[in-house]
Structure 1
Amino acid sequence: MDFGEVLKIEFMKVKRSKIVPLIFIAPLLVVASGVANLCHYITPEYTNAWPAMFIQSALVYAYYLLPFSMIVVCVMIEGRETGNNGILKMLALPVSRYLLSMAKFCVLVFYLFMEMAVFFAVFVIAGTVATRTMGVVETLPVFYLVKWCVWLFLTMLPCVGTMWAITVLFEKPLFSVGLNLLLVIPGVLVANTPLWIAYPYCYSGYLVSCSLHDFTVESGTAAFMLFPFLTVAVLVFVLMVVAAVIKFGKKEMR
């Protein structure tokens, strides 16, 4: 059985799960509250309304709601196997457990992509309604919104990789959820220290904080520096994914 077939099976397993409704909750909550708050300050003469609404919505979303929803998705994907000893049945098949782990992680990344797509769509709809209601004449900056949503997706990958590794390492879902939550909560504090670069749970939030700085200061120099962040982020992502692949199913095979 090749990787494509294994991946197809993994998508079939989660087809009837409640993951899809779950990924709508966080974008709807954060966009509705963020856009509604700014509507009290937007006037027809207001400029840069779209960036202001995006930053207002994405700040809490990137630091907390997006990581929280991904923690739940991790547990739900892993739970498809741990329930009723399904993992033992899968490991008994002539399929590499490494392929199984990579396929599950690809499903997790797919749902991360879907949530970002939902966030983009919900934000565009809410922002359009807000600007028209307040009489703001400003063109929808599609490239700006797509660019920042792509950046949010990419900066979340090391965090998602770490979450998945922790979910695989701990047999009890309560432990993995608790540890991931404890690591998410201080993200906004770590982002304000030099240690942020080694803390994947704050990457997306730090990105939005930098965009807020660029928006308010309007300087020619961007606050978010791609290097050495890119090197560290790729290293963290690779290490966490490799650890998850190696450890997946190992304790059940003993």
Structure 2
Amino acid sequence: MNFIELVKIEFTKVKRSMIIPLIFIAPLLVVISGVANLSRYLTPEYTNAWAAMFIQSALVYSYYLLPFSMIVVCVMIAGRETGNNGILKMLALPVNRTMLSLAKFCVLVFYLFMEIIVFLAVFVVAGVLATTSAGITEVLPIMYLIKWCVGLFLTMLPCIATMWAITVIFEKALLSVGLNLFLVIPGVLVANTPFWIAYPYCYSGYLVSCSLNAFTTSDPTGVFQLFPFLPCAILLFLFMLTLSMKKFGRKEMR
């Protein structure tokens, strides 16, 4: 069984799960509340309305709601195997367990991508309604929005790799959810310390915080720096992904 077939099987397993409705909840909540709060202050003379609305919506989303929803998705994907000893049945087949873990992670990445697409789509619709009702004629900065959404996706990859590794290591859903939530909550505090670079749970939030700093000030020190972030993020991503592949199904193989 090759890797592509494994990925197809994993998508089939979660086809009838509640993951699709779940990835709509966080974007809808944060965008509607964020745009609605800011729209009360919008006037026809308001400048950079789109950037202001995006930052208003993305701050809470990147620090909390996006990671929270990904924690649930991790548990739901892992639960397809842990329930009713499904992992034992799967490993009884001629399947490489490391490749099986990687296939599940690819499904997780797909749902991360889908949620950010939903966030972008919902934000554009809400933004158009807000700017139209306020009489603002500012052109929709689609490339600006896509750039920051791509940034959210990429900076979330080390985070979900860590979440997935914890979900694999701690097989009990309550333990994995509790530990991941415990690590997400202080993200906004860690982002304001020099240690943020080694804390993947705050990467996306830190990115949005940098965009807020660039929007409100002209301080060049607040711009998101790729170095040394990029090497550290890549190393963390590869380490956590490798750890999850090594640990997946190890207990059942004994």
TM-score by length of 2: 0.99
Within-5 A mapping of 1:86-235: 86-219=86-219, 223-235=223-235
Which residue is 2:15 aligned to?
15
CA distance in 2, matches of 1:250, 1:220: 48
Code of the aligned partner of 2:141: P
Rate the CA distance shift 1:153–1:50 in 2: closer, same or farther, 3 A: same
Q: Per-residue CA shift, 1:73-108, capped at 9, x if unaligned?
A: 000000000011100000000010011000000000
Q: How many Å apart are 1:166 and its aligned residue?
A: 0.1
Which residue is 2:34 aligned to?
34
CA distance in 2, matches of 1:220, 1:170: 42
CA distance in 2, matches of 1:247, 1:204: 27
SS at 1:251 equivalent: helix
Unaligned runs of 5+ in 1: none
SS at 1:70 equivalent: helix
Code of the aligned partner of 1:58: A
Q: How many Å apart are 1:252 and its aligned residue?
A: 1.2
Q: Per-residue CA shift, 1:142-177, capped at 9, x if unaligned?
A: 000000000000000000000000000002110000
1:77 partnered with 2:77: yes
Q: Per-residue CA shift, 1:156-207, capped at 9, x if unaligned?
A: 0000000000000002110000000000000000000000000000000000
Code of the aligned partner of 2:103: A
Code of the aligned partner of 1:73: V
Code of the aligned partner of 1:246: K
Code of the aligned partner of 1:128: V
CA distance in 1, matches of 2:178, 2:115: 22
Q: How many Å apart are 1:222 and its aligned residue?
A: 5.3
Runs of 4+ aligned structure 1 residues displaced above 6 Å come to none
Question: Identity of counterpart residues, as a percentage?
Answer: 75
TM-score by length of 1: 0.99
SS at 2:251 equivalent: coil
Code of the aligned partner of 2:87: I
Query: What is the number of residues matched between the two proteins?
Result: 254
Code of the aligned partner of 1:101: S
1:55 partnered with 2:41: no
CA distance in 2, matches of 1:234, 1:39: 38
CA distance in 2, matches of 1:205, 1:220: 18
CA distance in 1, matches of 2:26, 2:211: 21
Which residue is 2:241 aligned to?
241
Q: How many Å apart are 1:218 and its aligned residue?
A: 3.2
Q: Per-residue CA shift, 1:205-225, capped at 9, x if unaligned?
A: 000000000000034565211
Alignment RMSD (CA, Å):
0.8
SS at 1:16 equivalent: coil
CA distance in 1, matches of 2:176, 2:251: 15
CA distance in 1, matches of 2:91, 2:220: 55
CA distance in 2, matches of 1:174, 1:15: 23
Which residue is 1:3 aligned to?
3
Unaligned runs of 5+ in 2: none
